[in-house]
Amino acid sequence: QVQLVESGGASVQTGGSLRLSCAASGAWYSRRFIAWFRQAAGKEREGVAAIQTTTGLTYYADSVKGRFTVSQDNAGNTLYLQMNSLKPEDTGMYYCAAASSTSLTLYLAKASYNSWGQGTQVTVSS
């Protein structure tokens, strides 16, 4: 089973930047896709960004495209989410998730992922 641990969450002002990290353990075939999700108070958990670990292909929600960048280290053990030009609506708990499927149709859907981290809080104030 894949183990995921997020870090890097903080409170920042509008327009600021943060970089979240997700340390992942497990074989590569157990985490073909790794993604970032977020959940604001009273809202459903939504997909933010995903990466196919074997190819480096990335996928982004329209709300963060152009502002957020997902990447992984050379060893494939750490997932990053660089967040720039942060807005109050970016506030929420951010989770990383992993999927073992060799292919996904819905890259940013909760049901596509079966391993989850504990989350890290991001707060953006105006």
Residue 124's Cβ-count burial label (10 Å; 0-12, 13-18, 19+) is: buried
Q: How far apart are CA 20 and CA 84, in angstroms?
A: 11
pLDDT digits (tens, 9 = 90+) for 89-103: 999 999 999 998 877
pLDDT tens per residue, range 4-57: 999 999 999 999 999 999 998 876 666 789 999 999 999 999 999 999 988 899
8 A C-beta contact, residue 31 and residue 50: no
